[in-house]
Amino acid sequence: MATPVKVAKTESWDVCFDAAVEVARKAGEEIRSAFSSEKRIETKSCAVDLVTETDQKVEKMIISTLREKFPTHSFIGEESAAAGEKVELTDNPTWIIDPVDGTTNFVHGFPFVAVSIALSVNKEVVVGVVYNAILDQMFTGQLGKGAFMNGKPIHVSGQEELSQSLLISEFGSSRDKEKMDLVFSNLGSFLNENNSAHGCRFLGSAALDMCQIAIGGGDMYFQFGIHVWDIAAGALIIREAGGVVWDTSGGPFDMMSRRVLCASSVKLARTIAEGLTQMELERD
């Protein structure tokens, strides 16, 4: 596993944690109020990569609120990146924001939609907040201080055996045949008559997929093609809940690599890493 980067004492990030929770709740109010309303939908990279005015409005609100409190901090946001802003992770305190993770769910009224906010310092995430405003589930983590849902401690299942596990994954927004063939092939490695998990679930939100691992609702999750704003907060929450977060190859996790493997135990993580066919992707 990766050697943790040295950061300042976690107590010094309490004010940032509180600010992240506060602005996540404010963002959640916007998302909840727009959830059942008619939406103006646009596309980004392809016909199934959706964005709405709520994504853009919420991200602007989050960044402006945090920038006012922390003017020296840097920012990475999904919609800012889509608009052409450079994605750059440095040692400077950096907020990593997905304003509406699960936009397709949001468009269709499927209630797995979250705002995801992480704070990275020296390229190590020290604060993670994922809030599903539709179900009012607030997942939080702070480096060295544990993980929580709605203020109550959470922990991974600890499951070690594939045959007793529930897999969580996603298809992603790419419909490239080579990519889709790899997705199906990798799923088939863990869902076949000789080697099978109990089942597989697709929630449509990477951040909430990861939080399900953190609360023990699922036991393993992997995905290729995600972005840093999808996974930064969730990775910290899983680790603080006692779980494992690696690169899909079984090496150290690199949140800019656009691939991730999460599991409830080291043994299960190894089983998944050994069974995956890898995909190299352009970095964030």
Domain-embedded: residue 196 = yes
Based on the fold, state whether residues 220 and 190 are members of the same structural domain.
yes
- Give the model's pLDDT for residue 84: 85
Q: 214 φ, ψ to 5°?
A: -65, -30
Domain-embedded: residue 142 = yes
Element (H, E) at 222: strand 220-224
Domain-embedded: residue 280 = no
Based on the fold, state whether residues 22 and 131 are members of the same structural domain.
yes
Would you put residue 216 in left (φ > 0), alpha (ψ -120 to 50) or beta?
left
Based on the fold, state whether residues 147 and 187 are members of the same structural domain.
no
Based on the fold, state whether residues 127 and 176 are members of the same structural domain.
no
Query: Terminus-to-terminus CA distance in the chain, angstroms?
Result: 21
Based on the fold, state whether residues 124 and 35 are members of the same structural domain.
yes
* Cα distances (Å, whole numbers) of residue 41 to 30, 37, 77: 16, 12, 19
> Domain total for the chain?
2
CATH of residue 41's domain is 3.30.540.10
Of the CA atoms within 13 Å of residue 40, those in its CB half-sphere come to 4
Based on the fold, state whether residues 187 and 270 are members of the same structural domain.
yes
Domain-embedded: residue 249 = yes
* pLDDT tier, 172 (very low <50, low <70, confident <90, very high otherwise): confident
Domain's final residue, options 128, 153, 178? 153
* pLDDT tier, 3 (very low <50, low <70, confident <90, very high otherwise): very low
Element (H, E) at 149: strand 147-149
Based on the fold, state whether residues 52 and 104 are members of the same structural domain.
yes
Q: Which residue reads 């393993």 in tokens?
A: 220
Question: How long, in residues, is the chain?
Answer: 284
Element (H, E) at 101: strand 94-101
Domain-embedded: residue 41 = yes
Domain's final residue, options 104, 125, 153? 153
How many CB atoms are located within 10 Å of the residue 67 CB? Answer: 14
Domain that holds residue 262: 162-275
The yes-or-no verdict on residue 10 having pLDDT over 80 is no
pLDDT in tens, 181-192: 989 999 999 999
Q: Report H helices in the chain.
A: 14-35, 53-69, 78-82, 103-108, 177-188, 206-214, 228-240, 266-275
Based on the fold, state whether residues 225 and 271 are members of the same structural domain.
yes
What is the arithmetic mean of pLDDT over 8-35? 88
Contact yes or no for 53/100 (Cβ under 8 A) = no
85 has binding-site annotation: no
Based on the fold, state whether residues 43 and 139 are members of the same structural domain.
yes
Based on the fold, state whether residues 174 and 148 are members of the same structural domain.
no
| Chain centroid offset of residue 156 CA | 16
* pLDDT tier, 79 (very low <50, low <70, confident <90, very high otherwise): confident
- Give the model's pLDDT for residue 46: 63
Domain-embedded: residue 211 = yes
Based on the fold, state whether residues 14 and 108 are members of the same structural domain.
yes
CATH of residue 211's domain is 3.40.190.80
Based on the fold, state whether residues 94 and 192 are members of the same structural domain.
no
pTM above 0.95, yes or no: no
- Give the model's pLDDT for residue 171: 86
98 has binding-site annotation: yes
Domain's final residue, options 153, 174, 192? 153
Domain-embedded: residue 125 = yes
- Give the model's pLDDT for residue 260: 98
* pLDDT tier, 38 (very low <50, low <70, confident <90, very high otherwise): confident
Domain-embedded: residue 2 = no
- Percentage of the chain beyond pLDDT 90 is 79
pLDDT in tens, 205-261: 999 999 999 999 999 999 999 999 999 999 999 999 999 999 999 999 999 999 999
